[in-house]
A and B are shown apart, each in its own frame.
Chain A
Amino acid sequence: MTGLKKTYGAVTALRGVDLEVGEGELFGLLGPNGAGKSTLVKAACGLVRPTEGSVMVVGAPAGSAQANGALGYLAELFRFPDWCRADELLELHQKLSRSAGGAEERAELLALVGLTDAAGRRIGTMSKGMQQRLGLAQALVGDPKLLLLDEPTSALDPAGRRLVRALLERLRDRGVAVLLNSHLLSEVELVCDRVAIIAGGEVVAAGRPDELSRPGGVEVETGGGVRVYEVALREDVPRIVADLVEAGESVYGVRLLRSSLEDAYLEAVANAPTGDGAAAYVPAEVR
């Protein structure tokens, strides 16, 4: 997407976002409520028309048949017809996406999300977590090249989250690009190759998770207890150890400390301009 801007009346949701998700890349999108993340994902699906800028999916304009043919999407506030059975829903999406996978693909997708036994179950009788798993299976119908997941684990228990993480890694191995919009920083940090932090409708930080987190000192375990050197870097470790040994301390271990993605996120968001939409929530002590 290039220079993507979106306004809803007087409210500006996106202020010119440039973003690229490469083939087989797992890309995390972070940001506070109202930052414009869902609008960005919807623009990539063609559900929202950009006010300015352009969004291309596999070389075709977002929303076109060619672009949508390469997409899989799970919305944050999705809902499926409650009267419909899981297998029927997947069959509908197979027909719409012209997938020739048939019953075999449906069974494989349901197994992938742990819903094999629920194929004939009515969606209305499923828990929210089961529906979210079904939503993931639905998004994978037709072997998409780009998967857009808006808070895909919000209703899942820890086992379900682990399942999704494993699934995302498998998809990456198969060359599927994933744009993952999530509030769960730990989740994003664990699986994503690159991350963009959005606040006030702008990308305020972007890079690999380890790039966004910064060195945070050195921790040394000695006979006299744990000592923390807050401003020290990796290059300082030999000197610190030598000084301690010279001073008669026994050194049992050294650990480099880094700030977490959460620290980087809070810092980036605190310094970002507040959008016209819902104000970005940043705890007062961080501001």
Chain B
Amino acid sequence: MTAVWVIAGFALRESLRRRVFIVVAVITVAFLGLYGLGAWQAFQEVDDFAFDDRGIEPEAVAGATLLGLGMFGTLFLGTILAVFLTLGAIRGDAERGLLQPVLVRPVSRRTLLLGRFVAAASVCAGYVIVVYLVAMVLTNLAGGWWPDRIVAPALGLAAAVTIIAACALAGSVFLASTANGIAIFMIFGAGLVAGLLGQIGEALGSDTLNTVSDVTSWALPFEALYQDGLAALTADTVGFTKLAVDLGPFGGAQAAGPLLWPWALGYLLLVGLLALRGFTRRDL
């Protein structure tokens, strides 16, 4: 297990030396600054329309919509990080001759794969948790609103980017760097479209759209985890406020139920086994 930490530590040191983290930090500060400004302005606008007699809470509608946007942005940034930390980890490094000296040590291919995964997953999961929590605090500072669940959306995002990192790492065993990056972003896009279809299906009451969305979300569980986290923002919200949130661009998300997390873990394991099988059979 020590070798896993050695490899993970070396991968993280590389990111640090290549100033990956500085670039990410600068862009994230810009994103959060823009988000905070947008949230503050949105709550100002919300204050202008009256509390209607049907019981809609404008702060809750604005807060849930804004933080839903924040979650989407966070997932997107986390995905970019996951993809670029892993897209050339195996085949790319092997083609450049970087991998061979490491593997001619008492280090198994499984250990190398695990080390690279630990490095990418820990950075990406930590990153999305921090960005989500800061976005949540900014939302509260701007409008005094807190989501119904605080931890569940953060964990959903963390698990989602962990799965994306695993998929990108597995892809790096089989595909060249560019092809792998394109493939993962397209899969990410397909997952988002499936989620949006589900939200539209929910608003229209379309069973077919909901089924398509559900199947795709389970096939790409990062999307199901994201949707689950999104739904947790307004888990206790009811009535017209909930209806108003659901009709918004980040409403209508459904909690996936108790099987989601076991499935996500099983999915990670399957992706890992597939990557290991491909890597073990590859001549370097």
Chain A interface (Cβ < 8 Å from any Cβ of B): 8, 42, 45-49, 65-66, 68-69, 71, 73-75, 77-81, 83-84, 92-93, 95-98, 135, 138, 148
Contact = CB atoms under 8 A, between A and B. Distances in A.
Interface in B227-284: 281, 283-284
Contacts, number: 72
A280 B18 CA distance: 42
B97 A93 contact: no
B141 interface: no
Interface residues of B, number: 23
Chain A interface main SS type: mixed
29 contacts: A45-B100, A45-B103, A46-B103, A49-B281, A65-B107, A66-B106, A68-B105, A69-B105, A73-B100, A73-B101, A73-B104, A75-B101, A77-B97, A78-B100, A80-B101, A81-B14, A81-B98, A83-B14, A83-B17, A92-B6, A92-B10, A92-B102, A93-B101, A95-B6, A96-B3, A96-B102, A96-B107, A98-B106, A135-B101
Interface of B: 2-3, 6-7, 10, 14, 17-18, 96-98, 100-108, 281, 283-284
A69 B104 CA distance: 8
Contacts of B104: 45-47, 68, 71, 73, 148
Contact of B284 (A48, A74, A138): A48
Contacts of A77: 97
B102 to A, nearest CB: 7
Contacts of B106: 65-66, 68-69, 96-98
Contacts of A78: 97, 100-101
A52 B103 CA distance: 22
Contacts of A148: 104
B277 to A, nearest CB: 13
B151 to A, nearest CB: 36
A138 B101 contact: yes
Contacts of A75: 97, 100-101
